[in-house]
Amino acid sequence: MIDDEIPFIVCISTDEWSMFTDNEVGTCEECGGAVQHRPHIPRPSHLICLACWKDLFDPETDDIMVTVETIREILDWRRKQRH
């Protein structure tokens, strides 16, 4: 049984490229596939791969959030790509 109070973290497969080299590895709770995520995710969390998330997500009722730390990391990565 999944606790609705614990957030879902949408992750990419470990087969996918990531701009981050320090990602942690876990397991999708839906399909059992290997996924990667940022080390600063809220704990505890439910890990779910992008493919499973697309099948389960309802944009009418489900909330999405991105951590401030992740936004900072992405902006920093984009700045470095421009130089």
Q: H-helix or E-strand containing 4?
A: none
- Cβ burial of 64 (10 Å; 0-12, 13-18, 19+) is exposed
Tell me phi and psi for residue 49, to 5 degrees. -75, 160
Identify the pLDDT of residue 2: 59
Token duo for residue 10: 């949408």
DSSP state of 73: H
Please determine, for residue 1, whether its predicted confidence score (pLDDT) is greater than 80: no
Which pLDDT tens digit goes with each residue over 26-51? Answer: 999 999 999 999 999 888 889 999 99
Band (pLDDT 50/70/90 cuts) for residue 3 is: low
Give residue 76's region: left, alpha or beta (phi > 0; psi -120 to 50): alpha
